[in-house]
Structure 1
Amino acid sequence: MFKSLLLTASLLIPALAFAQSGAPAAKPTEGKTAAPAEKAAAPKVLFKTTLGDITVELYPDKAPKTVENILDYVRSGFYDGTIFHRVIGNFMIQGGGFTADLRQKQTKAPVANEANNGLSNTRGTIAMARTGDPHSATAQFFINVVDNRNLDYVSDQSPMTWGYTVFGKVIAGMDVVDKIKAVQTGAQGPFRSDVPTTAVVIEKAEVVQ
C-alpha cells in the first residue's frame, strides 16, 4: 500500500502618496521600538497508542495543505481506533488508514504533494503515505525509524522522484516508535507481510498545546 499506495512601482508610489496625504504622521517616540510579533506556536498532535504516547510537531510553514488536512482528520476523530498496519523495523511504521479488523476507512479527497519543501525523510520525521500517484495522499502517514533520504523530493519528472511529503517530527515518544518498530509482524487480511500480529492501536489522536 505504501509504494502502490509539495504591483508595479508606478502604481505603488501614487497609492502611498495618497495614503500619506491625510492626517500628518505621528511623531515617533524616541527611544522606543516596536516589539517583534510573536511567532505562532507550531501545532502538535498527540497519538495515544496501546504501546504509549507519541507527540508530533507539525510544520504548516513547510507543508500548509498537508498539515491542514491532517488536523482536519485529527479533529474529526478519524484516527481514533485505527492501527499501525505496516511495520518494517529498518524502514518505517505506517498507520492511519485501517481499523483493528483491517477494514480500510473512507477518506476525503487527496491532498497535493508538498514534498518539495526542503524537509528530509530523516529518523523521527512524519510523512504522508501515498500510491504511485504523487498527489494521492489522504489520511495515511508514516514515521521514519531510520534516515530514508531516498524518499525525498528530487524532481517532478516521475512519481518516484516526486518524493513523500514530510510535514512534522516526533518531539516526544520516540521510544514508543521504537517499541512499535520492534513488534512481531506477519501476513494478515489483504496484506502478505508486515502487519503486527498484535494490533498497535491509535486509541486517540488529539491536537495539544
Structure 2
Amino acid sequence: MKRSTTGKILKIGLLLSLISATVCTSLYACMSMSGYTSTVDLAKVNLIQLEEPKPEDPVAVIRTSLGDISVRLFPEEAPNAVNNFEELAKAGFYDDTYVFQLEPEIYFAAGSKTPEGELGDAYNEANESVEREISDNLWPFRGALCALTTKSDTGFWKMLTDRVKYYNGSRFILVDSIEFTDELVTEMYGNNPDNKVARAFEQLGGVPNYSQQMTIFGQTYAGFDVLDAITEVAVTGEENQKRPAEEIRILTVEITTYQEAPAPVTTEAKAPAETTSTTTTTTTTTE
C-alpha cells in the first residue's frame, strides 16, 4: 500500500536499500550517506509540501504521453534549481523528451533527449552544473519533484572536511513510493509518536532514504494517477538501468501559476494538501 514537534526528534539513518530507513528518538535528525552528513532540527521543520498552493505560487504542468502531472514549485527553498527548470521549460528544452529510467512503483527519471538518458547536442555546462540545494523543509514524499544529480566535486580531503559539492542538471525525478510495512513505520517513529515527518511519510508515501540527499524543488498536487501509471509500466534493462519497455514522452512542460494552471486532473490518489486535516501538523541518491 502506498502512503503523508517540538521536543523529541527522530534520527534517520539513510541506507543504501530502497526499502528501509532507520529512525530513533534524539534531539536532531542526523543523516549521512556516501560522505555527506547533515543535521536537521525537526522542531523547526515546516512541511510546506503539505500546504495548499496559493494562487500566485509558480507551478509546472508536466505533460506526458500518459497524461498531465501538476507540480507546485518552491523557489524560496531551491531558487537555483527552480530557475534552471523554469528557464529550460520556457525555452522548450523538455519538448518531446523521454522518460529514460524508472524503478517500478518508486520513481521515474525524465527530461533526456534520448530514451537512454543522453542529452547529446543539448548539453549545456551551465544548466548541468547547478549546485545541489538541500532544504530542511522539503522531503521526498510521494510526488516530490527532484533534480537529478549530475556530478560531484570530491576528493579525500573534501570528504574528510565535509566540503564535497554535488551538482544538478536539466533532467528530473518524480518520486512515487516504497512499500511502508508495519515494521518500517515502527522504525520511523522510534520512541516519538508525535514525529511529524514520520507521520507524513506514513500517510503520503515516498522514499525516506532519499531524505537530504537530493535537491527537491517541487511537489505534485494533481496527476498522481499519471505518476502511478508511469511507474507501473513494463520495463526493460538491467538493474539500476531500467527504462520503459515502450517509450514514454514528456510532450512539454508549461510554467504558470496555481491560479492560471489548467484544472487539476481528477485522481483517486490524495495529494498532500488533501491530508492535512487528518494530522496534527499537517534514503540512495539516483544519478
Q: Specify if TM > 0.5.
A: yes
Within 5 Å, give how 1:103-122 maps onto structure 2.
Answer: 103-104=118-119, 105-109=122-126, 110-122=129-141
CA distance in 1, matches of 2:117, 2:171: 14
How far the C-alpha of 1:41 sits from its partner, in A, is 1.4
Q: Which moved more, 1:40-49 or 1:172-181?
A: 40-49
With 177-186 and 117-126 compared, the bigger mean Cα shift is at 117-126
Change (3 A) 1:40 1:175: closer
The percent of aligned pairs where both chains have the same amino acid is 27
1:91 to 100, 106, 110: 106
1:164 Cα offset (Å) = 0.1
**Matched residues in 2 for 1:130 and 1:40: separation?**
31
- Match for residue 253 of structure 2 among 202, 205, 208: 205
The one-letter code matched in structure 2 to 1:56 is V
Structure 2 unpaired stretches of 5+: 1-53, 153-164, 178-205, 261-287
Matched residues in 1 for 2:110 and 2:130: separation? 17
Which of 76, 81, 87 is equivalent to 1:72? 87
Q: Which runs of 5+ in 1 are unaligned?
A: 1-38, 154-162
Shift of 1:42: 1.4
TM-score (norm 1): 0.70
Residues 91, 101 of structure 1: alpha-carbon distance in 2 compared, 3 angstrom cutoff: closer
Aligned Cα root-mean-square deviation (Å): 2.3
Post-superposition CA distance 1:25-46 (Å, at most 9, x none): xxxxxxxxxxxxxx87111111
Deviant stretches of 4+, over 6 Å:
none
Paired residue total: 161
- In the superposition, the TM-score normalised over structure 2's length comes to 0.52
Conserved? CA contact 2:150–2:167, under 8 Å:
yes
Q: 1:129 aligns to what?
A: 148
Rg bigger for which structure?
A: 1
